[in-house]
């Protein structure tokens, strides 16, 4: 009897999850637009997928994945062909699982993108599907995730690696456009307030935020050279740090040229400082994927090493596998993504 009542209680939530406005979310943000809540719920779906992907990199999950022949041809300890000879499957099994999870999420969002193609009004018959039915959407996402792990290995992983790189490039461009628009709107608003009155206060605020952005970027560059390069190695890291630094410097100079100011009088160094900081994050994210641990010590190792130096002690280096699950750059990237979602509303 208790089980039946429990099922009835759960069933009472289903209409909420399947309605055109998910009341669980709306209860938390009653003044939000339906479209904004929909974006947030989809962002939560992506957040859950990202957490699942991070869990795939934990040592306990990886040890179980290594026992699956589909991930390593002959189980744990086997080797797969690599660009430079052979690569131990143990070092890639977690990432292969992450790509399966990301494949499932990509197929889920692509499916609904195709279904909702051309949707412009809430009066469209497809609008309730877009803004509701969250229980069934969540069930579909879970089902696609489970099914992704049953795809035969073959060339799937290699092909999906390249698709992932192309998708990441497009994703970064979209984020960059949103950040530029955000920084421009921010600068424009503060310049207008500065012109309306109390100019010293707003000028100081504008100068402070711009200085903080450039200060963090310069600090990041110094840390990159200290921890992600060594004297006779890490040539790629040295090149991209220097190359991106030069590009950011040129972009900052161009943003204050007279011709640019004539065309865009509200443009300035604030936009350049935001993009410079974002470029430093992208550089750090790229270097964090470097397979050579001498050129990629990992953030956890850097923090531990810094504490040891401060305490005057020496601690053995943490193995790369021990700190692999703490993907700091992905956490920062997810925060930027959520901010872009909120801004694009």
- Report pLDDT digits (tens) over 176-186: 888 888 888 88
Whether residue 75 is found in the same domain as residue 120 = yes
Beta bridge partners of 86: 81
Q: Burial level of 208, CB count in 10 A (0-12/13-18/19+)?
A: exposed
CA 186 to chain centre: 23
Domain boundary at 127, 154, 181, which? Answer: 154
Whether residue 203 is found in the same domain as residue 337 = yes
DSSP 224-289: HHHHS-BTTB-HHHHHHHHHHHHHHHHHHHHHTSHHHHHH-TT--HHHHHHHHHHHHHHHHHHHTT
Domain boundary at 139, 154, 169, which? Answer: 154
Whether residue 139 is found in the same domain as residue 70 = yes
Within-domain flag for 178? no
Whether residue 207 is found in the same domain as residue 327 = yes
Within-domain flag for 250? yes
Domain boundary at 95, 130, 154, which? Answer: 154
Whether residue 204 is found in the same domain as residue 281 = yes
Whether residue 276 is found in the same domain as residue 211 = yes
User: How many structural domains are present in the chain?
Assistant: 2
Whether residue 139 is found in the same domain as residue 194 = no
Within-domain flag for 18? no
Within-domain flag for 13? no
Within-domain flag for 209? yes
Within-domain flag for 19? no
Contact 98, 57 (CB under 8 A): yes
Q: Domain range spanning residue 101?
A: 32-154
Q: Which residues of the chain have pLDDT under 50?
A: 1-32, 75-85, 314-325
Whether residue 203 is found in the same domain as residue 321 = yes
Within-domain flag for 45? yes
pLDDT at 8 (0 to 100): 36
Whether residue 105 is found in the same domain as residue 201 = no
pLDDT at 3 (0 to 100): 36
Whether residue 45 is found in the same domain as residue 144 = yes
Instruction: Kindly report the length of the chain.
Output: 345
Within-domain flag for 167? no
Whether residue 314 is found in the same domain as residue 216 = yes
Whether residue 213 is found in the same domain as residue 288 = yes
**Stated pTM of the model:** 0.69
DSSP 112-130: HHHHTTT---TTSTTHHHH
**What whole-number distance in Å separates Cα of residue 279 and Cα of residue 155?**
33
With residue 103 as reference, give the H or E element that holds it.
helix 93-115
């Amino acid at each position: 009897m208790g089980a039946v009542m429990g099922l009835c209680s759960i069933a009472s939530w289903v209409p909420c999850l399947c309605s055109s406005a998910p009341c669980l979310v709306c209860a938390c943000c009653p003044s939000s637009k339906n479209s904004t809540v929909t974006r947030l719920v989809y962002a939560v779906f992506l957040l859950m997928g990202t957490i699942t992907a991070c869990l795939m990199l934990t040592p306990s999950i990886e040890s179980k994945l290594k026992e699956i022949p589909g991930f390593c041809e002959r189980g744990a300890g086997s080797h797969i062909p690599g660009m430079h000879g052979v690569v131990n499957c143990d070092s890639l099994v977690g990432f292969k699982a992450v790509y399966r999870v990301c494949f499932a999420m990509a197929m889920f969002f692509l499916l609904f993108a195709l279904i909702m193609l051309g949707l412009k009004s809430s009066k469209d018959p497809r609008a309730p599907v877009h803004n509701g039915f969250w229980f069934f959407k969540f069930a579909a996402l879970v089902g696609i995730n489970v099914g992704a792990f049953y795809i035969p290995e073959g060339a799937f992983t290699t092909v999906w690696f390249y698709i992932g790189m192309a998708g990441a490039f497009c994703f970064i461009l979209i984020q960059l456009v949103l950040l530029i628009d955000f920084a421009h709107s921010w600068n424009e608003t503060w310049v207008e307030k500065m012109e309306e009155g109390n100019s010293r206060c707003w000028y100081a605020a504008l100068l402070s935020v711009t200085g903080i952005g450039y200060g963090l970027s310069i600090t990041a560059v110094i840390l990159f050279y200290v921890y992600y390069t060594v004297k006779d190695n890490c040539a790629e890291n040295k090149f991209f740090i220097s190359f991106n630094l030069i590009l950011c410097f040129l972009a900052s100079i161009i943003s204050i040229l007279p011709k640019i100011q004539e065309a865009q009088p509200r443009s300035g160094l604030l936009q350049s400082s935001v993009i410079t900081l974002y470029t430093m994050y992208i550089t750090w994210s790229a270097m964090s994927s470097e397979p050579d641990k001498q050129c990629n010590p990992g953030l956890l190792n850097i923090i531990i090493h810094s504490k040891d130096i401060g305490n005057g002690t020496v601690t053995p280096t943490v193995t790369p596998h021990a700190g692999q699950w703490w993907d700091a750059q992905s956490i920062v990237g997810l925060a930027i993504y959520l901010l872009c979602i909120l801004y694009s509303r």
